[in-house]
């Protein structure tokens, strides 16, 4: 007997009719022979209303009491849904997070799950119940109610699925567990269809792609829930609670996914950029900065540290706009101590393209920059991950940039992973035959899963690698105007050099610094053609090549949600006195350029820091 965890979001339980429909869906899944756990969010705008209620009383309510209040929203939903299931003649029982044994840390309003005890759920399931659990909440070791952060019910659902997967009884029954996230959209789209009407629903997407999409503003699911699904190999389907249509599967990567260079594009409008100028270029500085930000639990997104000149570097990164004032307050004293300046820029939007195909296909960056240049949009900052490219633009240009990228990568057309193309696509056809089953057949490694589950939300870094063959090219004083990047990368591509990571930062008024890495064998031609092209653009800009560099990468999940990964990485390098020349980050990977002679030492330091032996 399989276990299905269904999660219904706020809009899917907003009215009595919606609750009855959720009850019917749960009963159907049970009738199909599954044990069913349902996780629900607070109804409609309840959570927002509760927050408003608190604000009427106090500007700054204690976080513990905020959680006490917010957790009531979900408690209403579970009771009503249990009643609805009863009314349809099936046994059901509801539980709050604390009742069901969801234990979290004590970070009120942003708590992380530490463990889940499945004893009670299993007993209730074995008695034939549909088990209904309040999402978004748990309790800490002092029995205080905690909440998991906005949108946290997804995390509850996937965490429960993960916990059930290693439950011994479930295991004895074949251990088949899947998770359905019911929401008010049909699935995951190539981009937000409200902004780009010809966006397509995807049939499937890999965990990594979904993580990048979610971190970039594709608001279908909470990032942490996808991390969980990836760590514990839980197949997820995002689907519409208003229909029975198949939604989008979120799954481990398969070969065909790499055939599509870009699977989706996203716009994040609520970003802010922080720039630290004149930062001393010496070991330990990035660590000092990012550990201060991590210490106050603020997630950092794009990090672009440029090379710097005369011993001074510029570090740029983005945070959510709502975190801007906090970050500035934390960084101001550090900047003063370092003799640097720090400033925040609010009106920026981030546009990104994602696809695992980028690992094997070249030309994605040129296409992206050309599309943006054609719209005369200026780029303020660039970072690249192994499966994504992000650019920061003026807030007013965000939508235009997104539309341009969606069209440039032809995301509106049917293709593998986004509906079968009219000619019939065998790979997609095969894929359409319930891919989740393939995954569930893989025997889970119990010991590994159990170890992971002991610290459910511990950072999971899956790999550390050294690429000693990557060299860096840097352009200083590049005029900050639309089309500059497009011109340069088109020239570099035409010269036959393969560009890997790209970092661009605004350094002074009207001036940018752009760095990229190429394989050692391509360095000479990359340098030559870059020199030539920037001379034509502006004789004042200078190009340097650095053949003595190497790139260290850390791969994993939740680089953004766990600011601690950057902290650990930079800390380990600082401890060995290894200077960081360039930083590039994404949700699933952080890359740093260091001196090549320190490559092996840096690799060993990172392996030790992430205890990978
Ligand atoms: N009710 C919470 C919120 O609105 C949790 C959730 O919906 O997932 O953020
Ligand atoms: Mg909600």
Q: What is the pTM assigned to this prediction?
A: 0.80
Atom 9 of ligand 1, residue of closest alpha carbon? 150
pLDDT at 117: 92
Q: Give me the residue spans of the domains in the chain.
A: 2-184, 265-414+461-609
Where do we find the tokens 């049970």? 30
CA–centroid distance, residue 325 to ligand 1 (Å): 24
Where do we find the tokens 């959570």? 47
CA–centroid distance, residue 39 to ligand 2 (Å): 12
CA–centroid distance, residue 131 to ligand 2 (Å): 20
Ligand 1 atom at minimal distance to the Cα of residue 73: 1
pLDDT at 14: 96
> For the domain bounded by 2-184, which CATH number is listed?
3.40.1160.10
| 326-350 per-residue burial string, b: 16 or more CB within 10 A, e: under 16 | ebbebbeebbeebebebeebeebbb
Q: How confident is the model at residue 560 (pLDDT cuts 50, 70, 90)?
A: low
Atom 8 of ligand 1, residue of closest alpha carbon? 151
Q: How confident is the model at residue 66 (pLDDT cuts 50, 70, 90)?
A: very high
Q: Which of 54, 152, 238 to mutate to test the pocket of ligand 1 (most atoms within 8 A of CB)?
A: 152
User: Looking at residues 516-542, what average pLDDT do you find?
Assistant: 90
pLDDT at 558: 60
Q: Which ligand is nearest to the CA of 73?
A: 1
Is 555 a residue whose pLDDT tops 60? yes
pLDDT at 432: 26
Q: What is the CA radius of gyration of the chain?
A: 24
CA–centroid distance, residue 237 to ligand 1 (Å): 19
Q: Is 151 in the pocket of ligand 1 (CB under 6 A)?
A: yes
More confidently predicted of 246 and 255: 246
Ligand 1 atom at minimal distance to the Cα of residue 222: 8
Please tell me what DSSP assigns to residue 395: G
Q: Is 153 in the pocket of ligand 1 (CB under 6 A)?
A: yes
Q: Which long-range contacts (CB under 8 A, 24 or more apart) does 17-22 make?
A: 18/241, 19/77, 19/80, 19/81, 19/84, 20/84, 20/87, 20/88, 21/241, 21/242, 22/81, 22/84, 22/182, 22/241
d(CA 329, CA 349): 22
Q: Which ligand is nearest to the CA of 147?
A: 1
**pLDDT tens track for 339-353:** 999 999 888 999 999
CA–centroid distance, residue 47 to ligand 1 (Å): 6
Question: Worst-scoring range by mean pLDDT, 196-200, 492-496, 582-586, 594-598?
Answer: 582-586
Q: Is 135 in the pocket of ligand 1 (CB under 6 A)?
A: yes
Nearest to 380, CA basis, from 389, 371, 369, 393 = 393
Question: How many whole angstroms from its chain centre is CA 107?
Answer: 21
CA–centroid distance, residue 45 to ligand 2 (Å): 7
Q: Is 181 in the pocket of ligand 1 (CB under 6 A)?
A: no
pLDDT at 581: 79
Q: Are 220 and 266 in contact (CB under 8 A)?
A: no
Atom 6 of ligand 1, residue of closest alpha carbon? 151
**pLDDT tens track for 79-122:** 999 999 999 999 999 999 999 999 999 999 999 999 999 999 99
% of the chain with per-residue pLDDT over 90: 46
Q: Is 592 in the pocket of ligand 1 (CB under 6 A)?
A: no
**pLDDT tens track for 424-454:** 443 332 222 222 222 222 333 444 555 555 5
Q: Is 44 in the pocket of ligand 1 (CB under 6 A)?
A: no
d(CA 101, CA 118): 7
pLDDT at 460: 64
Is 74 a residue whose pLDDT tops 60? yes
Q: Is 308 in the pocket of ligand 1 (CB under 6 A)?
A: no
Tell me the angle at which helices 484-494 and 523-537 cross, rounded to the nearest 10 degrees. 140
pLDDT at 561: 55
CA–centroid distance, residue 152 to ligand 1 (Å): 6
Is 401 a residue whose pLDDT tops 80? yes
Ligand 1 atom at minimal distance to the Cα of residue 148: 5
Q: Is 152 in the pocket of ligand 1 (CB under 6 A)?
A: yes
Half-sphere exposure of 257 (CA within 13 A, CB side): 22
CA distances to 369, 388, 393 from 382, rounded to whole Å, are 10, 11, 9
pLDDT at 254: 83
Give the three-state DSSP class for 147. Answer: strand
> For the domain bounded by 265-414+461-609, which CATH number is listed?
3.30.2130.10
Is 217 a residue whose pLDDT tops 60? yes
Average pLDDT, the chain: 86
Please tell me what DSSP assigns to residue 544: E
Nearest to 534, CA basis, from 509, 548, 516 = 516
Q: Which ligand is nearest to the CA of 69?
A: 1
């Amino acid at each position: 007997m399989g276990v299905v965890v269904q999660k219904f979001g706020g809009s899917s339980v907003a009215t009595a009719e919606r609750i009855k429909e959720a009850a019917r869906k749960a009963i159907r899944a049970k009738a199909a022979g599954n044990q069913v756990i349902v996780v629900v969010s607070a109804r409609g705008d309840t959570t927002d209303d509760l927050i408003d209620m608190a604000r009427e009383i106090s500007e700054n309510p204690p976080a513990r009491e905020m959680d006490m209040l917010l957790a009531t929203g979900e408690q209403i939903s579970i009771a009503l849904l249990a009643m609805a299931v009863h009314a349809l003649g099936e046994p059901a029982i509801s539980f709050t997070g604390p009742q069901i044994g969801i234990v979290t840390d004590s970070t009120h309003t942003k708590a992380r799950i530490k463990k889940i005890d499945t004893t009670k759920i299993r007993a209730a399931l074995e008695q034939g119940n549909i088990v209904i659990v309040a999402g978004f909440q748990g309790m800490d070791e002092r029995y205080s109610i905690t909440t998991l952060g906005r949108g946290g019910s997804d995390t509850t659902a996937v965490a429960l699925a993960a916990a059930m997967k290693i439950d011994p009884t479930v295991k004895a029954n074949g251990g088949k567990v899947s998770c359905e996230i019911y929401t008010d959209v049909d699935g995951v789209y190539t981009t937000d269809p409200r902004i780009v009407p010809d966006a397509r629903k995807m049939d499937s997407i890999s965990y990594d792609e979904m993580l990048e999409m979610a971190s970039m503003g594709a608001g279908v699911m909470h990032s942490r829930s996808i991390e969980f699904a990836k760590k514990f190999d839980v197949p997820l389907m995002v689907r519409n609670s208003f229909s029975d249509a198949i939604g989008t599967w979120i799954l481990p990567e398969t070969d065909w996914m790499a055939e599509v260079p870009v699977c989706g594009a996203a716009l994040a409008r609520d970003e802010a950029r922080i720039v630290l100028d004149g930062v001393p270029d010496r070991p330990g500085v990035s660590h000092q900065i990012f550990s201060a930000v991590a210490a106050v639990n603020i997630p950092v997104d794009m990090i672009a540290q440029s090379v710097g000149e005369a011993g001074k570097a510029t570090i740029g990164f983005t945070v959510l706009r709502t975190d801007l004032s906090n970050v500035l307050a934390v960084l101001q004293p550090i900047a003063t101590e370092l003799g640097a300046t720090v400033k925040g820029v609010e009106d920026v939007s981030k546009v990104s393209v994602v696809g695992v195909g980028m690992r094997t296909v070249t030309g994605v960056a040129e296409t992206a920059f050309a599309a943006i240049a054609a719209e005369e949009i200026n780029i303020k900052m660039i970072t690249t991950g192994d499966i994504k490219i992000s650019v920061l633009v003026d807030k007013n240009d965000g939508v235009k940039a997104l539309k341009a990228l969606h069209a440039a990568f032809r995301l509106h057309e049917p293709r593998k992973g986004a509906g079968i193309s009219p000619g019939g696509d065998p790979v997609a056809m095969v894929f359409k035959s319930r891919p989740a089953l393939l995954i569930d057949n893989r025997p889970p490694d119990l010991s590994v899963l159990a170890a992971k589950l002991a610290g459910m939300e511990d950072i999971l870094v899956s790999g550390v690698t050294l690429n000693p063959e990557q060299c860096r090219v840097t352009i200083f004083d590049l005029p900050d105007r639309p089309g500059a990047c497009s011109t340069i990368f088109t020239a570099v591509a035409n010269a036959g050099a393969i560009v890997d990571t790209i970092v661009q930062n605004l350094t002074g008024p009207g001036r940018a610094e752009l760095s990229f890495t190429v394989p050692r064998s391509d360095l000479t031609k990359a340098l030559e053609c870059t020199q030539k092209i920037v001379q034509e653009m502006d004789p004042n800009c200078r190009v340097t090549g650095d053949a003595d560099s190497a790139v260290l990468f850390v791969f994993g999940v939740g680089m953004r949600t766990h600011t601690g990964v950057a902290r650990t990485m930079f800390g380990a390098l600082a401890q060995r006195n290894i200077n960081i020349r360039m930083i590039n980050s994404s949700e699933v990977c952080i890359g740093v350029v260091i001196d090549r002679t320190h490559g092996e030492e840096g690799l060993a330091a990172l392996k030790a820091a992430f205890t990978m032996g």
